[in-house]
Amino acid sequence: MAERKIRVLVAKPGLDGHDRGAKVIARALRDAGMEVIYTGLRQTPEMVAEAALDEDVDVVGLSILSGAHMALVPKIMDLLREKGLNKVHVFVGGIIPENDVAELLKCGVNAVYGPGTPTTQVVEDIQVAVLGVHA
């Protein structure tokens, strides 16, 4: 059997146009040997869920710097659940106020990363969540 690759969807939902962070994360995950489906800007929650399903990803990474996270993320989590994608590891990065982090975790997000989070942290968390091992 071939080696298992971790497949990650990286998306920027909503109207936020600042994609440097998403690209940095995508690069870091690629350098850690993962296959990153980069869907780019202006993704609707429906587009994110559809891509997550069709690409059978292990992980969904959402980058939001526009402040619209409370409007977008719960909707995305609902759609993922609706499609039966309960085991997907979801992380959110960008500008997320402390007060909202707990809310996001409550609606099923696995990790929230603020600015300055080392990419190694993101990589490690994914590897633990998906492979169950510290790589």
Partner 1 sequence: MVNVEAILQGDRRALAQLLTLVENDDPRGAEALDQLFPHTGKAHLVGITGSPGTGKSSLANQLAKVYRKPGDGSAPRRVAVVAVDPSSPFTGGAILGDRVRMRDLSGDPGVFIRSMASRGALGGIARATAAVVQVLDAAGYEMILIETVGAGQTEVDIAKLAHTTIVVEAPGLGDDIQAIKAGILEIADILVVNKADLPGAENTMRALRASLELAHPVRHLDSLKAGHAGSMKTTDISQAEDDLWLPPILLTESPRAVGIVEVTQAIARHADYLHRSGEWEQREQNRLRSELDALIQAQLVARWRNSVPPSAYDQALEALYNHQISPQQAAGNLVKEQ
Interface residues with partner 1 (CB under 8 A) are 1-5, 7, 26-27, 29-40, 42, 44, 46-47, 50-51, 53-56, 83-84
Nearer to partner 1, 100 or 124 (CB): 124
Q: In terms of Cα–Cα distance, which of 63, 49, 74 is closest to 115?
A: 63
Structure tokens at 99: 């007060």
C-alpha 4/C-alpha 125 separation (Å) is 17
| Integer CA distances (angstroms), 123 to 3, 35, 92, 100, in order | 18, 12, 13, 23
**Least distance to partner 1 from the beta carbon of 107, Å?**
22
**Least distance to partner 1 from the beta carbon of 54, Å?**
5
Nearer to partner 1, 82 or 114 (CB): 82
